[in-house]
Amino acid sequence: MTKFSDLNLSPKVLKAVEEAGYETPTPIQEGAIPPALEGRDVLGIAQTGTGKTASFTLPLITQLARGRARARMPRSLVLCPTRELAAQVAENFDTYSKYVKLSKALLIGGVSFKEQDTLIDKGVDVLIATPGRLLDHFERGKLILNDVKVMVVDEADRMLDMGFIPDIERIFGLTPFTRQTLFFSATMAPEIERITNTFLSNPERIEVARQATASETIEQGVVMFKGSRRDREASEKRKVLRMLIDSEGEKCTNAIIFCNRKTDVDIVAKSLKKYGYDAAPIHGDLDQSQRTRTLDGFRNGELRFLVASDVAARGLDVPSVSHVFNFDVPSHAEDYVHRIGRTGRAGRDGKAMMICVPRDEKNFEDIERLIQKEIPRIDNPLGTPAPAADAEADDAMKAEKPKRTRAPRKPKADAPKADAPKVEETQPEAEAPVEAATETVTEAEPERTSGRGRGRGSSSGRNRSSNREDRGGNKVVGLGDHTPSFIELSFEERRVS
């Protein structure tokens, strides 16, 4: 059996590894460390939780033990997709380089530029960054990548999912062509393979497991759930989650609960806390300080349930996670492998349970096709709704919809049309009032017309003469006996007065 002492690592690195409690390298470490120490490009493909981080940190520290960094010109670069993974890689460097004098800088969002600029100005041996923040520093003229000797891309498939591939290609173009590249990914999508063919030179390919496979130490299960009614599905689904947690009892020491959307992360965390479960959310919209506190609490055992989006699905090393609950079926099949990979790490046993609603069945089929195995079904803790009840609920919903959209009073609005013949029969009786009204309107028409002319200031001679006649004896129709005197004045008379 191979030991770390057989991998030609420096004595100081071996001492730090031994103090960390590791004696035997994992398959990916055993395959990647020797060619990395020889200066060759490495393409590592392994499922999550197999120790990929140490596969590049250990040879990198050994290589950088000699030499010194210059201001603003890092000697090595490690790219990570998320802040949490970048911070974890930085912790690994601190652990394994405790006996080697190496400087390090962590460039992630949520931290002030000034503090990061100060570290870069002093010169760093290891620069660990997310792609966006790295390019921000470069565009501000605070960073020069001409002296990068080793470049590491960690969780490359996650970079692809998050849309970082254009940034990765740009960063490759900013580093020297003679650099050494260590490229690690859990899966090999066509886009990832294109990048490796473009930017890696005759790499040593280490593939220690079939692409996109889950660890055999993880027990998997799925609840095929259908709500009793559409408007109750969300609350009933949360109840199923609580019942699954309760069914595990003391075996569920801690767990990560994954949701597809950030809003659902907050809702599920709030619901669990309402029912007495020790839970907290973590997703990309939270402040970095809050995300750090939540993760630290979960790692230290102060927090039992971590409700997370996929920001926590990749690379977070919490060795003792007993369970993973997929509240939602992931929309990308590869994400399922990474999610459940948070449990059953380092050879431990783990359990992963998922809730699948009818609209997610297609994504569920993609997952089973990817992992090439059928996930065992778990009985619905709420039981199966009776078909008759479902049919009645559906009929009720269908019956309500026409009632809401139909205009019930429309026939009443058409009633006058139906009574039209009756109106014609009584028409002779109504003729006299109608004619009288017509005559009244006809007599009043000249006065209203002349009034409008005066109001617009456009009265003519004939209008003025008609006005005088009206003042002679006729009253203004519609204004009663108390007509204000100024209304009877012509435009010229008003202007003079």
Q: Residue 202: left (phi > 0), alpha (psi -120 to 50), or beta?
A: left
| Fold agreement (4-207, 218-385) | yes
Q: Write down the pLDDT at residue 468.
A: 45
Q: What percent of the chain has pLDDT over 70?
A: 74
Q: What's the pTM? A: 0.61
CB atoms within 10 A of CB 154: 27
Asked if 282 contacts 295 with a C-beta cutoff of 8 angstroms, the reply is: yes
More confident position, 218 or 310:
218
In angstroms, the CA 260 to CA 241 distance is: 15
In angstroms, the CA 291 to CA 13 distance is: 31
Q: Write down the pLDDT at residue 298.
A: 92
Helices marked H in 383-426: 387-405, 410-413, 415-418, 420-425
Q: What percent of the chain has pLDDT over 90?
A: 49
Q: Where are the domains of the chain?
A: 4-207, 218-385, 424-496
Q: Per-residue pLDDT for 405 more than 80?
A: no
Instruction: Return the minimum-mean-pLDDT range out of 39-53, 179-193, 336-350, 405-419.
Output: 405-419
Asked if 131 contacts 172 with a C-beta cutoff of 8 angstroms, the reply is: no
Give domain 218-385's CATH architecture.
3-Layer(aba) Sandwich (3.40)
Question: At CB < 8 A and 24+ separation, what contacts does 117-125 make?
Answer: 117/142, 120/71, 120/72, 120/74, 121/71, 121/72, 122/71, 123/68, 123/69, 123/70, 123/71, 123/72, 123/73, 123/74, 124/69, 124/74, 124/75, 125/64, 125/67, 125/69, 125/74, 125/75, 125/76
Tell me the mean pLDDT in the region 409-437: 44
Homologous superfamily (CATH) of 4-207 is P-loop containing nucleotide triphosphate hydrolases (3.40.50.300)
Q: Per-residue pLDDT for 90 more than 80?
A: yes
Q: Write down the pLDDT at residue 54.
A: 92
Q: Give the pLDDT band (50/70/90) at residue 409.
A: low
Q: Return the structure tokens found at 480.
A: 């009663």
